[in-house]
Amino acid sequence: MVRSNHVSEAVALQARVDRIAEGAALMTDTTFERTFIDGLADTVTNHTLEKLLYENFSALGVPTHTEEELAFADSLSKTYNGADYLPGIGCDYDAEYSARVKTLRNENGGAMNEFLLPLYQGEAFKPGSTDVGDVSWQCPTAQIHVAAWPNGCPGHSWQNVSCDKTAIGHKAAVHAGKVLCAAAIDLLNGPEILEEAKAEFLRRTEEGYTCPIPAGAVPTVPD
């Protein structure tokens, strides 16, 4: 896997890695086979849509949980020692923002973050792999995060999976839908907001989209 901050840089880096493999094969009189699995672009932010989503999130508030749900989340948090990167701590690229989030958690948090984080509009929030990035190069795109997992548990863990089919996960999904729908209504009633979002999108994507998937790539099918 090759990663970089921007898809165009990742594609160039991949070409360099391929040349390194070719050189190593020549030096050792061996051959190698390159198999493409997938490729994803970086996400283009859109401050206009982010602000709109945040306004609706603020108006709707955040999901609340029963004592039983909070006790379940707390029991999951206690199964992990916190030795890994943990979600829900703010932004990886802004120490001041993360400190504000930590203060909010200490004052209002528990097993679940039942408060709205401050609006963040930096150019990067968290690293990860998602095809939302490719979509964001085609049209104005913004995202929200709703607490669906307990504090103190890492991503891609059984603790988080354990919450997904509970009322905690269901409340998060429904609430996210409410925020998105409310923002969509605002866009339908306020075409000037959409025009502003489109103008920002065109400015941010002026360099053009670099597709990370090579022309001859075909989907891999497991045996």
User: Residue 34 above 60 pLDDT?
Assistant: yes
Which of 24-28, 72-76, 176-180 bottoms out in mean pLDDT, i.e. has the lowest?
A: 72-76
Average pLDDT of the segment spanning 170-175: 97
The count of other CB atoms within 10 Å of the CB of residue 196 is 18
User: Residue 86 above 60 pLDDT?
Assistant: no
Dist. CA 192–CA 152, nearest whole Å: 41
User: Residue 91 above 70 pLDDT?
Assistant: no
User: Residue 85 above 70 pLDDT?
Assistant: no
Dist. CA 163–CA 208, nearest whole Å: 39
Label residue 88 by pLDDT band (50, 70, 90). low
Considering only residues 202 and 110, tell me which one the structure prediction assigns the higher pLDDT: 202
Dist. CA 10–CA 17, nearest whole Å: 10
Dist. CA 51–CA 119, nearest whole Å: 8
Q: Which long-range contacts (CB under 8 A, 24 or more apart) does 164-167 make?
A: 166/69, 166/72, 167/65, 167/66, 167/69
The count of other CB atoms within 10 Å of the CB of residue 69 is 19
The pLDDT of residue 154: 82
Which of 27-36, 64-73, 126-135, 200-209 bottoms out in mean pLDDT, i.e. has the lowest?
A: 126-135
The pLDDT of residue 132: 94
Q: Half-sphere exposure (CA, 13 Å, Cβ side) for 35?
A: 4
Q: Half-sphere exposure (CA, 13 Å, Cβ side) for 168?
A: 25
Label residue 90 by pLDDT band (50, 70, 90). low
Q: 192: burial class by Cβ within 10 Å (0-12, 13-18, 19+)?
A: exposed
Considering only residues 109 and 105, tell me which one the structure prediction assigns the higher pLDDT: 105
Torsion, Cα of 211, 217, 218, 220 (10° steps)? -90
